[in-house]
Homo-oligomer: A and B are copies of this chain.
């Protein structure tokens, strides 16, 4: 009877092991996946780069990458420096005419940010002004990251500046530097 009990106990333990082993492996896998999340994109681009083929994006004769996205129904919001709109080669007018919502910062000497947020999950930021000269001739950098700790503050900053420069709230901009056309504050929504 003792031998029978001992055999039964061994069988029970084996059965328990058969259940516990895959369960343990599965739990360990789950733990590892939670502790080591999917790889976060962190890249840096430097300019001038011989690999950068960007002329077609910047020329006003072609629709450009931003216009193409807008045409596909992607919601694009652009916040620009007020002075930049008037400079030679600025594409802001082209973008506005296409119906893209553009607002201009009227509360600082220069809206010097040069960042973009893509789908709320990718941040592109750096020294690079989004111009052809900057890409082709200057020594510039561009950080491309999915890092949430960096992305979140930039998203909040964009939201803050976007709301601050809402034309409905901002009929009398504080900055006295220009008496420029107030239409630059409007969002055109022709379609």
> Would A127 and B139 count as touching, CB distance under 8 A?
no
Copies in the complex: 2
Residues of B within 8 A of A134 (CB): 112
Contacts of A35 in B (CB 8 A): 32, 35-36
- Per the CB 8 Å criterion, the residue count for chain A at the interface is 42
In the bound complex, CA of A117 to CA of B35 (Å):
29
List the B residue with the shortest CB-CB distance to A44. B153
For residue A64, CB closer than 8 A to chain B, the reply is no
Q: Does A78 contact B (CB under 8 A)?
A: no
User: In the complex where A147-B147, A150-B143 touch, is A138 in contact with B157 (Cβ < 8 A)?
Assistant: no
Please provide the chain A residues from 9 to 42 with a CB less than 8 Å away from any CB of chain B in the complex.
Answer: 32, 35-36, 42
A99 at the interface (CB under 8 A from B): no
Chosen A-B contacts, 18 in total, with CB atoms closer than 8 Å, are A2-B6, A35-B35, A35-B36, A42-B147, A43-B149, A44-B154, A108-B138, A112-B138, A112-B139, A113-B127, A113-B140, A115-B141, A125-B126, A125-B141, A127-B127, A143-B143, A145-B150, A147-B147
Given contacts A35-B35, A46-B153, A112-B139, 20 further A-B contacts (CB under 8 A): A2-B3, A2-B6, A35-B36, A42-B149, A42-B150, A43-B153, A44-B150, A44-B154, A46-B157, A109-B137, A110-B137, A113-B139, A113-B141, A114-B127, A125-B126, A139-B161, A141-B157, A143-B143, A143-B150, A147-B147
